Structure 1
Amino acid sequence: MLDENSKIALVTGANRGLGLEVCRQLAQQGVSVILTARDRQKGEQAAQQLQQEGLEVMLKFVDVADDQSVAQLVHDLEGNLPHLDILINNAGINFDFQQQTLAADLNDVQNTLNTNLFGAWRMTQACLPLLKKSQHGRIVNVSSGAGSFAGPRGLQEQGGGLPAYGISKAALNALTVKLSRSLLETGILVNAVCPNFTATYPGTEEMGARPVPEGAAAIVWAAMLPDDGPTGGFFRDGQPLPW
């Protein structure tokens, strides 16, 4: 069991890409990190990679789209953790750039919402008792400019594309505001972060994507905010974004 003085973070969808790099950067700052993944083999490979770098990482498995999986994870954590300081809702699916709103497969949209929106909501509700035991609770929802009403390449700039992904991220932003207002009296800060177009897949750097460490740093910034930091905001690289 980790002791009362440990700063503890849990990151969902952390076996690759941004999630894995967020785990790395948090652990490099002395945070005890719980790396979670759906896939056992991929999760084990990711955790071993960080452990071989000398970083303190604990591996757990969870499917954020599944009530029972989330409940089992949190039941296990409550028996082993004194508190949880940081929850990073990073798990996300389905960048559906080839789909159009009028012809969208609604089952596909529903599945996307179940992970990108309800997954974060489900994890937050389940982890809240542990977060309330922290003196410096932080919740970070990894969002996207694709869910912005005003930003470039946002909801009004996609020509009807990205229906499932864009709408799920707009809803995640709305959830961020609602959570922040619900938790004002607890001192838990809740923010949404857009890491920008990040090179999480081969070939995307040639398309102008930023390096993964830069996108991850934007998320880590929100996870490590001081107690007088913002809550209920939408940020990229520490700067406010339009909703």
Structure 2
Amino acid sequence: MDKKERAKERREKRRQEVSLLRTIPYSDHQRWWSIDTIAVVTGANRGIGLEIVHQLAMHGLTVILTSRETGVGEEAARVLLEGGLNVVVHKLDIVDPSSIKIFAEWIQQNYGGIDILVNNAGVNFNVGTENSVESAEKVIETNYFGTKNMIKAMIPLMRPSASGARIVSVSSRLGRLNGRRNRIGDVTLRQQLEDMNLLSEELIDRTVTKFIEQVKDGSWTSCGWPQVFTDYSMSKLAVNAYTRLMAKILSDRPEGQKIYINCYCPGWVKTAMTGWAGHTTPEDGADTGVWLALLPEQFVRGKFFAERREINF
């Protein structure tokens, strides 16, 4: 058996372990949440997002399913509502600041705040071995800037609690800083993004802006950017970096007002985004995000996970 086959076997074994863990119910002692706990999931009308809504609602939370189109969201939620789950649909387009503002005001008026935010909304226009950057600006705008703006808008609405509020962002191993493959070739930039003393929102924004500028002038191919799903990889690299930055910023909040932020890779999931070519089910893809959102004793922040295990950024 070669290295690739052994790695595939290990992944399959871990997926089976995680699937088994998912069948184990939380004890009353572990359940810090109730029907009054409010979770928001972005881009949740299909795929991983819809499954995250499903699993959270199955655990007894109230889940806000957001979608760019209300009718699409309502259709997606229909089966969940028929099953007696507490799911509410609301329109939200994370690339539209006015849409985020309207949503935040609606949350404040109807629920007074939220306890969990799952940033799932995202786009990817590469399929198979294709590596087009034709839609790079839209990918960065949605996956990074949209996610960042959503986090900023929801933090003031995070309700105080002894268990702490939670933010989970769906990301990707493709955005790892120090992966053996597909990493940024500029060593200095990579070190700056890795160094918590140097990491800043300005640095992250400047990095993705520079990438977009080089896409526009055609120089990106020779500037050391990732070579696999380049625009998607850069957007998730930015999400990962912003997660680490916000974890540091939020760590100073007093007890009772803690907010824990982490991100995770769902794997290559069989959804419309992957052209149904993935090797992981939506159920397995959603699992780690739900697990992070519900951790009974949430002491981790600014970490990156896959299959319920921490991995390096």
TM-score by length of 2: 0.69
1:76 aligned residue = 106
Question: What secondary structure is seen at the aligned counterpart in 2 of 1:80?
Answer: helix
Deviation track 1:38-68 (CA, whole Å, cap 9, x = no partner) reads 0222111011121011110010011000100
Distance in 1 separating the partners of 2:50 and 2:35: 24
Confirm or deny that 1:144 pairs with 2:157.
no
Confirm or deny that 1:199 pairs with 2:226.
no
Deviation track 1:65-110 (CA, whole Å, cap 9, x = no partner) reads 010010010011111113311000000002425235xxx33xx222
Q: Structure 2 matches for 1:119-158, cutoff 5 A?
A: 119-135=146-162, 136-151=164-179, 154-155=182-183
Larger Rg: 2
Q: Is the 8 A contact 1:96 1:164 kept in 2?
A: no
Confirm or deny that 1:174 pairs with 2:241.
yes
Gaps of 5+ in 1: none
Q: Structure 2 matches for 1:184-223, cutoff 5 A?
A: 184-186=251-253, 187-201=258-272, 207=277, 209-223=279-293
Q: Is the 8 A contact 1:12 1:19 kept in 2?
A: yes
Distance in 2 separating the partners of 1:138 and 1:159: 30
Choose the corresponding residue for 2:232, options 159, 165, 168.
165
Choose the corresponding residue for 1:46, options 67, 73, 76.
76
Question: Quick one: structure 1 residues 10 and 202, their matched pair in 2 at CA, closer, same or farther if it must change by over 3 Å?
Answer: closer
Deviation track 1:13-53 (CA, whole Å, cap 9, x = no partner) reads 00000000000000010111000000222111011121011
Distance in 2 separating the partners of 1:181 and 1:17: 31
Per the TM alignment, residue 6 of structure 1 is displaced from its structure 2 partner at its CA by 1.1
Per the TM alignment, residue 226 of structure 1 is displaced from its structure 2 partner at its CA by 2.9
Distance in 2 separating the partners of 1:212 and 1:153: 25
Choose the corresponding residue for 1:115, options 142, 150, 154.
142
Q: Is the 8 A contact 1:82 1:133 kept in 2?
A: no
TM-score by length of 1: 0.88
Q: Is the 8 A contact 2:170 2:289 kept in 1?
A: yes
2:131 aligned residue = 99
Q: Is the 8 A contact 1:198 1:204 kept in 2?
A: no
Gaps of 5+ in 2: 1-33, 185-224
Question: What secondary structure is seen at the aligned counterpart in 2 of 1:140?
Answer: strand
Distance in 2 separating the partners of 1:194 and 1:167: 14
Distance in 1 separating the partners of 2:140 and 2:308: 26
Distance in 2 separating the partners of 1:79 and 1:202: 34
State the superposition RMSD in angstroms. 2.3
